[in-house]
Structure 1
């Protein structure tokens, strides 16, 4: 359990930081509110009543990222995925998480419109990159099985 937790903390933390920085840079350059969407908790009943400072919102994002990474690493170990499976499935799952979370944008006036093609594109690209970075922590060195 210790290895899974440690790997989840490192992989989820680093990948989560990358995703946050990527979306923050996109938002600063384009003014498309994808970073706000990343930190948004307006769709969580109890949390939507509060206004959190950005560092705390980012910490919540990192906690979720660590949980996702630890869960994925546990699944990878349990089912002994090959390198190819790790790469494809981790990137696909990360993309799927992005697809499933994007509609929460309708639950807040701070986030982009659901129909914003640019927001959706940046959001999904960010999640694909997040998945790719996770794979760098999960794949073994050497030839794939």
Structure 2
């Protein structure tokens, strides 16, 4: 089980890097700030006091990726769906799309009503879900 959790953690890190890359490329080519939301935790009490902000932004992002991969894998395993692509893509796309609106709790960009940022954010999370599903099928 420990070996499986380590593999799932590695999958979370790699998929988290893919998510960062997709959003960074979208920001580079369009100027849209959806990328910034990956590292924003200023709306989370206690965590928002951690310094340096840039470092804990990365820690927050990668821990979220790792825990979400581990958690979703074991939830899907209850229904023998852990090797199917669609649950990962569906959960991360819908979940990411919904979580985008937490940006309303922050003064940092993007704005909660930035439709283009929401589309980019949701699209990038669909790619994240696909990457997670691919790696789970190949490595577990």
Query: Where do 5+ consecutive residues of structure 2 fail to align?
Result: none
1:50 is displaced (CA, Å) by 4.2
The partner residue of 2:103 within 80, 102, 105 is 105
SS of the equivalent of 1:104 reads: helix
How large is the RMSD of aligned CA atoms in angstroms? 2.0
Contact 2:19 2:128 in 1 (8 A): yes
Q: Give me the TM-score of the superposition, normalised by structure 1.
A: 0.85
1:51 is displaced (CA, Å) by 5.1
2:69 aligned residue:
69
Q: Structure 1, residues 48-99: CA drift from partner, whole Å, max 9, x if none? A: 234534343122201110111111222233332274xx21111011012212
Runs of 4+ residues deviating >6 angstroms: none
Contact 1:7 1:73 in 2 (8 A): no
Distance 1:14 1:46 in 2: 28
1:92 aligned residue:
90
Distance 1:87 1:48 in 2: 34
Q: Which has the larger radius of gyration?
A: 1
1:139 is displaced (CA, Å) by 2.1
1:33 aligned residue:
33
- Corresponding residue pairs, total: 139
Distance 1:53 1:43 in 2: 13
Query: Where do 5+ consecutive residues of structure 1 fail to align?
Result: none
Matches within 5 A, 1:36-51: 36-50=36-50
Matches within 5 A, 1:98-137: 98-137=96-135
Contact 2:73 2:82 in 1 (8 A): no
